[in-house]
Amino acid sequence: MQNAKDMALLACMDGLFGYAMVITHNYASAANLVQETYLRALNAKEHPRNHGEVKGWLFTILRNIWLNQLRRRRTAREVADLNIIGESNLKLAADDSTADPHTLYVRDIVTTRVREAISKLPTKFREIIFLREYEELSYKEISIIVGCPAGTVMSRLARARTRLRILLAST
C-alpha cells in the first residue's frame, strides 16, 4: 500500500467498519464485510479519483455486498452489542483530557444511551443516521450508497431523528 489511491482506501477503514457494525450488529460479520470490500476495491480496474469519491465508492461496495449476503441467507437477524463501534467514530465520545471527571462520566452515559437508542432503530434509519452523523457524508453521497433519491435520504433522516428523540426521551 504505497500509492495515494491505496492510502485513500485505508483512510476509510474505521468508518467502513463502523458502518458494517451498524448494519450487521455482529463483529465477525462486520470484519468480513470490510475485508470483502477491500478485496473488491483493490481488484477493481478503476478507482475514483478524489478522496470524497473513494469514500462513497467503498461504502457503496460494502452495502451491496451486505445486501447480496442478506438475499442469499434470508435468516434471522443476528444481534450484537453496538459498543463495538470505536469511540473515535462517535462525536459524543471525543477525547477531552481537560474535562473534569463528572463531565466525562455524563458524556459516557449520554454516549451509551444514544448507542442503545440507535440500535433500536430499523436498519434503514440506523444506516442513514450513521452515514450522516458519524461519517458526515452528504445527502447525495448517502443517496448513492443506499440507492435512493436524496429527498428520500432527507425524509428518512428526519424520521430517524424523530424516532431517536422519542427513544431518548422515554429512557
Domains in the chain, CATH or no CATH each: 1-86 (1.10.1740), 94-171 (1.10.10.10)
Cα distances (angstroms) measured from residue 123 to each of 6, 110, 118: 30, 21, 9
The single residue listed with the C-alpha cell 470490500 is: 37
- pTM score, two decimals? 0.62
Confidence band, pLDDT 50/70/90 cuts, at residue 109: confident
The contacts of residue 149 (CB under 8 Å, 6+ apart) are 143
143 backbone dihedrals φ, ψ, rounded to 5°: -65, -35
User: Looking at residue 148, what is its pLDDT?
Assistant: 92
27-42 burial code (b ≥16 CB/10 A, e <16): eebbebbbebbbeebe
User: Looking at residue 139, what is its pLDDT?
Assistant: 93
pLDDT tens, residue by residue, 112-153: 888 889 989 998 999 999 999 888 899 999 999 999 999 999
pLDDT tens, residue by residue, 24-35: 888 999 999 999
User: Looking at residue 4, what is its pLDDT?
Assistant: 66
